[in-house]
Structure 1
Amino acid sequence: MAHIHRFKDRAHAGALLARQLRRYAHAPDAIVLALPRGGVPVGFAIAQRLGIGLDVLVVRKLGMPHHEEFAMGAVGSGGVRVLQPGVPGLMGVTAQDLEAVTARELAELARRERAYRGIGDDAAGGTRTAPDLRGSTAILVDDGIATGSTVGAAIQVLRRMQPRKLVLAVPVAPPATVHKLAPQVDELVCLSAPPLFRSVGQWYDAFEQTSDEQVQALLTAARQPQAASHPTTGGQNDENTDDG
């Protein structure tokens, strides 16, 4: 069972996770896929210390018409759509309903991907496409999990993208959620599974909202040569990372 940790901030949580994931350091087929927005600072710290790539996995829930709190599926990066069994038809959802909700959420997903990838840094000055994950080791990262609904949708989307191995790495989640998600991935790394869990933010000293601009900056920085201040192991940024 995971120990109970507190984290200074998302970078601190990522540094701790990188220690647990160090067997993937410099693996040519490994990539960190962070869930925006809060998962990106965590994923950046992991990717920098392991010397592997970083990208985002944008996932949008497909909510039931008039009952959007209930998910009938999800869409994700690469145009992948995953549906719950029985959809369309479930709870009276028609094919027309499904396509309308899908179109709306795909538009929002495309907007977010333009924000995160359309920053004109490739040779042609255009957007970067989602990575081809076939045969890769995909390390899915968020800053924490509560119910697991978003991460569960992300796992389903990733499975459709055919990675060779799917690893879920998170700083904190309640034990029941860890138990629910563990069979859905090839490996699960969770640093802290406190039984008295109210929210992800309660386990961080600093838990400010991450902006789109911060996500863009971290994705840009991740594509630069490794900085000396982000070694694979050790270093001043890992100082006191065993506290809490």
Structure 2
Amino acid sequence: HIYQQDLFTRQIKQPFKQIFRELYLKIDDELNSAQSHRYDGYQIQPQKTQAVLKTRNWIASYYEGLQKVYYQENIIATIYAAVDWFTPADIEAPILEYVSFYDRKTFKDILIKDIPDIIFSEVMRDVDLAISIAHVGGVDPETSHSTIQMRKAILEFTLPLFKLNNVSLNDNFAIIKGNLADYSIHLGSGIVHQMAGAEIAISVVPSQHRGRLFLPFVDEDPKTTEIITKVLLFAKDNDIKDPFILNQIKVVK
């Protein structure tokens, strides 16, 4: 947080992905194990999980689950869940069990304390991202705490770029004092509510139908982009032209 603020204050030009890179630290209980259990118990959708992690160089192995190979360091990271990644798993969504690391050549376990910090952080971020996007419907996406904290940090430094001072971050929500009404946006699910009112339904436009203005520099997570876009939209609600959205807003100001 301090480094991010310093970069903005001194106006040092760096790629946004580098500024907002999040570091996932090793937990003491993990150090002498080859497995991390910090994401145990989260239910995920197999097909969506595969789609999300495929863009980050993960592959689905029939016997070993989802794997990411670091060839230069000879490390294989594996996300294990009791699921066949090649079927829809319609009956019961699989539950994550652990993330493990082993040597690419000998296939022996590698203790987490011996995994390079950057590799460990990248793997944990990928798992966190998958949970945030591919959680099972009906389960609060808030389970992925680190992702929500990351989105908070991104918003803190994105809002000043757009000169917006009517947005505050409270717990897991962005609170917006609009010109027509006040709104809350959940930083996990992206659901929008009018304060003391109903949910405001918004259809997300697929990426291939984007206009010229979008924010690929902030984060490659599509859910993060969606949430930031919604915050910017409702922060200037007097500029909204879509009648479908306007009909849902009960003007109170």
The two structures have a TM-score, normalised by structure 2, of: 0.24
The two structures have a TM-score, normalised by structure 1, of: 0.24
Q: Which has the larger radius of gyration?
A: 2
